[in-house]
Amino acid sequence: MIEVKGVWFNYPGLESPVLQDINLEIRPGEFLALLGRNGSGKSTFTRLLNGLLIPSAGDVIVDGLNTRDQKNLSMLRQSIGLLFSNPDNQLVASIVEEDVAFGPENLGLASGEIRDRVRSALSVVGMEEYLKHPPHMLSGGQKQRVAIAGILALRPSYMVLDEPTSMLDPRGRDEVLRTLVDLNRHQGTTIILVTHFTEEAAAADRVLVLDQGKLVMMGSPHQVLTRTNELHTWGLEAPDTVLLCEELRRLGHDLPLALDEAQVVEMIKRLRVKD
């Protein structure tokens, strides 16, 4: 479990706090989505989770380890993986296999163990055939999946992703999101997905919204993503499916607000029968 207790954060030299009084428990095996506009503090939050940044006040405790304690950092960094949005900034080696091996090598693991972990990580993200490929020749989505494999090779319990799809095309986005859902459902990895795309948050168990450094809302995807007006004040857009249902209601049709495209289609077809 990750406990965020009364966390405040200021960047040195800047007056206004970027995060204010964040209190949160992240349960093992959860898929959590954190939504917020640019500047809301969400990226800063991700760096507090793995000890890249230390809170100005309050504590972040991961499975009993406080990030303030230097001794804990090595354990922490194996336990929580952090993925950034630009795939090109995260790949260092000349072939995929070496890139994914980078982490385990630095842990001093035996070469047999490293080989196994590399293959199994690449298999989880569906990139086994690219073992000997140069990373720079892959598509954006493929690069992100390799970067994810690089983290998985360290066997983290938690994976934090800071806008992992913002530089990807639709296919790439789809691949990465499917990989995350898969990781969560089949490997039990706790996923914390930071994004400004409300459609991505629909896949989560719980959705949180950050605005000007404060947690302003928490709930199920349906609870949060149907609050179109509030989302708007927080600089976010409700998913188009919700907006479509709202518009149809305004035109006089009786249907609930839905997130899922298939559900929306079903409901409209049922309206036909009712009308």
Partner 1 sequence: MSIRLSKVGFQYARGLPWENTALKNIDLEIKSNEMLGIIGPTGSGKTTLLQLMNGIRHPSEGRVLINNQDPAKTKGREITRLRQKVGLVFQSPEDQLFANSVFDDIAFGPRNLGFTGPDLEERVRWAMEALDLSFEDFSQRRPQNLSGGQKRRVAIAGILALKPEYLILDEPTAGLDPEGRKGLLALLRKLREEQGMGVVMVSHRLQDIISNCDRIVVLVGGEILKVGTPREILQDGEELGVLGLALPTVNKVLHELKQVYPHLDVTPVGVAAIAEEIDQALRNQ
Tell me how far, at minimum, the Cβ of 52 lies from partner 1, in Å.
Answer: 19
Selected range binding partner 1 among 44-52, 91-99, 124-132, 260-268, rule: CB under 8 A: 260-268
Work out the burial of residue 47: count CB atoms within 10 Å of its CB; fewer than 13 is exposed, 13-18 middle, 19 or more buried. Answer: middle
Q: How many residues bind partner 1 (CB under 8 A)?
A: 38
The CA radius of gyration of the chain, in Å to the nearest whole number, is: 20
Tokens representing residue 19 in the block:
């995060």
Name, in order, each residue with C-beta under 8 angstroms of 105's C-beta and a sequence gap of 6 or more: 114
87: three-class secondary structure by DSSP: helix
CB 161 within 8 A of CB 168: no
**Interaction with partner 1 in 54-73: which residues (CB under 8 A)?**
none
User: Closer CB to partner 1, residue 152 or residue 204?
Assistant: 204
The binder of partner 1 chosen from 25, 69, 113, 247 (CB under 8 A) = 247
Tell me how far, at minimum, the Cβ of 211 lies from partner 1, in Å.
Answer: 12
Q: Is 12 in the site for partner 1 (CB under 8 A)?
A: no
The binder of partner 1 chosen from 169, 220, 223, 254 (CB under 8 A) = 169
2: three-class secondary structure by DSSP: strand
Tokens representing residue 262 in the block:
């298939």
Selected range binding partner 1 among 49-57, 60-68, 109-117, 237-245, rule: CB under 8 A: 237-245
Residue numbers of the site for partner 1 (CB under 8 A)? 37-39, 85, 139-140, 163, 166-167, 169-172, 174, 196, 199, 235-237, 239-241, 243-244, 247-248, 250-253, 261, 264-265, 268-269, 271-272, 275
